[in-house]
Amino acid sequence: MEKTKEIILMVDDDITNLTVARNNLSDNYQVLTAPSGEKLFVLLERVTPDLILLDIEMPEMNGYEVLEKLKNNVDTSHIPVIFLTSKIDPKSEIQGLNLGAVDYITKPFSRDLLIKRIDLHIELEKQKKELVKHKISLESEIDKKTKTVMELQNAILTTISELVECRDNVTGGHIERTQHYLGLLVDYLFEQGIYTEEIKTWDVELLIMSSQLHDVGKISIRDDILLKPGKLTEEEFEEMKKHTINGVDIIKRVASCTTESAFLHYAEVFAASHHERWNGKGYPLGLKGEEIPLQGRLMALVDVYDALTNDRPYKQAFSHEISVDIIKKERAVLFDPAIVDVFLEHEKKFTPENYYKRVTQNQYDNLESTVQIVSNLVNKQSEGDIDRADRIRKYLEMFLCKLEKNENYKDEILSWDRDIFLLSAQLHDVGKIAVADHILNKAGKLSDEEFEHVRTHADLGMEVVGHIKESIGDGNLMLNAEIMAGSHHEKWDGTGYPLGLKGDEIPLQGRIMSLIDVYDALTTDRPQRKKKTHAEAIEIISDSRGQSFDPNLVDVFFECAKRFNEGE
């Protein structure tokens, strides 16, 4: 196969020079020419050369100005530029090289020398690209391996810590909550310049991950002590205290079995020192003040806070306020006073409510990104209408505001999470993703067979939403989406699909979406027809009151629909 020639672009205001260059170089390269800097940039919009030969002395925009502009543009900065000029003074040559030219050749030039120099710089550019490509590939491989190791480490830690939680029989989520509180505390200490020199030496991500093993030694404590609902005897408490030393032993045994043991160093410190006390009356070593490792002092506070604010076999959960009061009283007794001060300054961020709000927000963020990707894909596939989701959301929001004030509907509407409902609505037509494009976008009337195929999107929609529910791990977030996907084509008179539900058998979510969906379809261009005006759409919906649509809902709909086409 014939080798593709490299593209050389020569810029010179002298037509004779351009002709000579083309004649000399055409056997070796694909030569393009531009009579000025301005023409060069027009040409660069259509083609990217492998090298530019550039004259210096040109009217309007000289070679130095052209080169500067090339180097300041991310799309052209990588193209090697050789000055090909009659200027022979060293000062001009240095100026060109300083601006980023790779070479400086004076006229008249030797054809063979010019070709050698061009080949050299093209080859150098190729090698540079290969090095960059190799560097990116190497970095990607390192990142992949690092991620794999981190995931493996985290899997080990999580598995072991879950075993401990199962035995400890405490309120679920202790590990996740203490990790969250620990992360907050480390961030706030660093922001306020407290213990920053030591914190700088930590891999904080690894540190927080390793904190999962702080109570791993409890796996060796007898159930009758670990789960005792009342106060422990002195003998039992002495046995319980051994979980710190046992934890260190367990972690050391794990570390001896792997070369990737750096992350276990943090875990060992947490296990050994999170029950030491600032006044020296803790265990297992009775360390005092800053003799206690900083990790242990941090874990001591977050561990106690979580224990206070959650049920335990021996006590009911205390409120956040009471727990904060207890920690305040133990400043410089059980806890490092500097850490307590930072905690007290930010204590509102440590409430269990804030933790659960964060967890819910993470779930919502994951759901939102998933929904938007899927709904954009569906809307683009179906009539290419990428703005549809935004319109549906706007109409629904107005409609829900009205329904919340209506005695017939307000109780059920107010029981829904408004944001989740509006987000879920974007998935009402998700089943269309499995309907063939030529049917979805057919310009004429569908055949009976094609219409039957389209009708399957309601059942398919429920199936797709079911998969999304599984992936986010919270079925409640997707409940409305599933209902809307399956019921927005049911009709009040029972002639709809997929189940032929009638009247109030149709879920309210489906009846609401049915109205909004039809209004939007009527007022938007579709392959089979032009859009209707707002007034025409309202008339069609009015004619279908009590047939396709819930008559009471239609009445409320008319109260707010006049705002739909006012841009409000």
Residue 148: pLDDT above 80?
no
Using DSSP, how many helices (H) and how many strands (E) does the chain show? Answer: 26, 5
CA 441/CA 214 separation, integer angstroms: 59
Identify the pLDDT of residue 568: 38
pLDDT of residue 406 exceeding 70, the answer is: yes
What integer best gives the mean pLDDT of the chain?
A: 82
Provide the 3-class DSSP secondary structure of residue 331: strand
* Cα atoms in the Cβ-side hemisphere of radius 13 Å centred on 392: 26
* 242-253 pLDDT per residue, tens: 999 988 988 887
Beta bridge pairs of residue 7: 30
What is the average per-residue pLDDT within 95-109?
A: 82
> How far, in Å, CA of 80 to CA of 61, rounded?
19
List the one residue out of 499, 509, 519 whose CA is nearest residue 478.
Answer: 509
pLDDT at 382 over 60: no
Q: Which residue shows structure tokens 């004030």? A: 405
Task: Tell me what the mean pLDDT of segment 552-564 comes to.
Answer: 87
User: Of 478 and 77, which is predicted with more confidence?
Assistant: 77
Local confidence band at 122 (pLDDT 50, 70, 90 cut-offs): confident
What pLDDT band is residue 65 in, cutting at 50, 70 and 90? Answer: very high
Quote the pLDDT of residue 305.
93
Is the Cβ–Cβ distance between 12 and 58 less than 8 Å? yes
Q: Check: pTM over 0.85? Answer yes or no.
A: no
pLDDT at 555: 92
- SS3 for 131? helix
The continuous run of DSSP H or E covering 34 comes out as strand 30-34
Helices (H), 488-547: 508-522, 534-543
Looking at per-residue pLDDT, the higher value among 220 and 459 belongs to 459
Task: Tell me: pLDDT of 197 over 50.
Answer: yes
Query: With 70 as the cut, is the pLDDT of residue 161 above it?
Result: no
Where does 382-425 have alpha helices with state H? 388-403, 410-414, 418-424
Residue ranges of domains in the chain, CATH in brackets: 7-109 (3.40.50.2300), 172-350 (1.10.3210.10), 374-561 (1.10.3210.10)
Angle of helix 15-25 relative to helix 111-168, nearest 10 degrees, comes to 70
* Cis peptide upstream of residue 108 (ω within 30 degrees of 0): yes
pLDDT at 171: 40
pLDDT value of position 143: 61
Backbone angles phi, psi at 486, to 5 degrees: -90, -15
**284 within 8 A of 275, measured Cβ to Cβ:** yes
Residue 125 is inside which H or E element, if any?
Answer: helix 111-168
Mean pLDDT of 86-96: 77
Residue 177 pLDDT grade (very low, low, confident, very high; cuts 50, 70, 90) = confident
Q: What is the pLDDT of residue 567?
A: 44
pLDDT above 70 (res 437): no
Interatomic CA distance for residues 67 and 52, integer angstroms: 10
| Residue 97: per-residue pLDDT | 83
- Say if residue 163's pLDDT is above 60: no
At CA 151, angle to CA 149 and CA 154, rounded to 5? 105
More confident residue, 472 or 99: 99
pLDDT digits (tens, 9 = 90+) for 504-516: 999 999 999 999 9
Instruction: Select the highest-mean-pLDDT range: 159-163, 407-411, 552-556.
Output: 552-556
Higher-confidence residue: 36 or 386?
36
pLDDT recorded at residue 1: 46
Model pLDDT, residue 117? 86
What is the arithmetic mean of pLDDT over 333-342?
97
- pLDDT at 367 exceeding the cut of 60: no
d(CA 469, CA 482) in angstroms, rounded, equals 9
Note whether 219 and 250 are within 8 A (CB).
Answer: yes
Q: Assess whether pLDDT exceeds 80 at residue 384.
A: no
Using alpha carbons, select from 396, 393, 369, 392 the residue that is nearest to residue 361: 369
* Of 6-10, 109-113, 470-474, highest mean pLDDT: 6-10
> 17-43: per-residue pLDDT in tens?
888 888 888 888 899 999 999 999 989
Instruction: Compute the average pLDDT of residues 89-106.
Output: 82
- Residue with the larger pLDDT of the pair 173 and 280: 280
Higher pLDDT among residues 135 and 331, named by residue? 331
Query: Who wins on pLDDT, 356 or 209?
Result: 209
pLDDT in tens, 484-510: 889 999 999 999 999 999 999 999 999
**DSSP β-bridge partners for residue 11:** 34, 54
* Rg, the chain, Cα only: 36
CA of residue 49 relative to chain centroid, distance: 37
Q: What is the mean pLDDT of residues 226-240?
A: 86
pLDDT at 545: 94
pLDDT of 200 above 60: yes
Helix (H) or strand (E) holding 28: none
pLDDT range class, residue 107, cuts 50, 70, 90: confident
Q: For the beta carbon of residue 46, count every other beta carbon within 10 angstroms.
A: 7
Of 464, 473, 494, 495, whose CA–CA distance to 484 is shortest?
Answer: 464
What value does the mean pLDDT take over residues 365-388? 58
Under the banding of pLDDT at 50, 70 and 90, the label for residue 526 is confident
- Beta-bridged to residue 526, according to DSSP, are 529
Percent of the chain with pLDDT over 70: 82
pLDDT at position 280, please? 96
Assess whether pLDDT exceeds 80 at residue 368: no
pLDDT at 260: 56
Q: Where are the alpha helices (DSSP H) in 169-242?
A: 174-191, 196-200, 204-210, 223-226, 234-241
Cα atoms in the 13 Å half-sphere on the side-chain side of 7 = 11
Give the containing element (helix H, strand E) for 83.
strand 81-85
